[in-house]
Amino acid sequence: MKANPASHSITPEEMTFVGTNAGEHVGLDFEGLFSRLKEISLVLQYLPTIPQAPTLIVLGKQPNEPQAVCPLTETFTVGRGRTCEFRAADDQKMSRQHFQITRAEEDYVVTDLQSSNGTRIAGRPVKIRQHRLTDGDVILAGNQRFLFVRGGSAVD
């Protein structure tokens, strides 16, 4: 299709919007987001079904192949310790109790349990103490990556 400049002249409202920079995303890591979403879409394709409830997916070393799929309980702890809901026994960079995910009303919150090496969220520069999880967040702890999926496939 050939561009036709006469068909859609720029309106004053659109000009004003350009001036506000409201659509700008300076400083946001969109490239990182695209990269994560791309990986997530391939991981979800690998699963037999899309999780219908909030789930933590332990991402594997092999691309697209999840290591474990863990439905989240009210309190879900990850670490090397025996009492953890997900135990990464061989990961020496993981603390015995590394982080915990708890339900807070409609949200899920991840809390670092004063781990030695800290907990991060992919795309965010600093270690977290506590963070409200967004669907698709990837938690980085020890040598592991954990994908948070809120669950459900319907347009809710």
Partner 1 sequence: MDIPTQITLLNRLKNQGAAQDWERFYRIYAGPIFGLARQFGLDPNAAQDVVQETMMSLTKALLTFEYDPAKGKFRGWLWRLVRNKTQEAWRRSKKHQATSLDQTDQGSQIAQINQLQSNDVPADEMLEKAWRLQLVQSGMKILTQTPQISARNLEIFRAVAIEGRDANEVAVQFDTNLNNIKQIRHRMTDRLTEIVAGLQAGTIQALDTV
- Which positions touch partner 1 (CB under 8 A)? 1-10, 12, 14-19, 22-28, 30, 33-34, 37-38, 40-42, 44-45, 50, 107, 132, 134-137, 149-150, 152-156
- One-letter amino acid identity for 97? Q
The answer to whether the CB of 61 falls within 8 A of the CB of 151 is no
Residue with smaller CB distance to partner 1, 25 or 61: 25
- One-letter amino acid identity for 117? N
Residue with smaller CB distance to partner 1, 10 or 126: 10
As measured in angstroms, the least distance from the Cβ of 66 to partner 1 is: 15
As measured in angstroms, the least distance from the Cβ of 117 to partner 1 is: 25
Helices (DSSP H) in 27-144: which residue ranges?
A: 30-46
Query: Which helix (DSSP H) or strand (DSSP E) does residue 59 occupy?
Result: strand 55-59
Q: SS3 for 19?
A: helix
Residue with smaller CB distance to partner 1, 88 or 149: 149
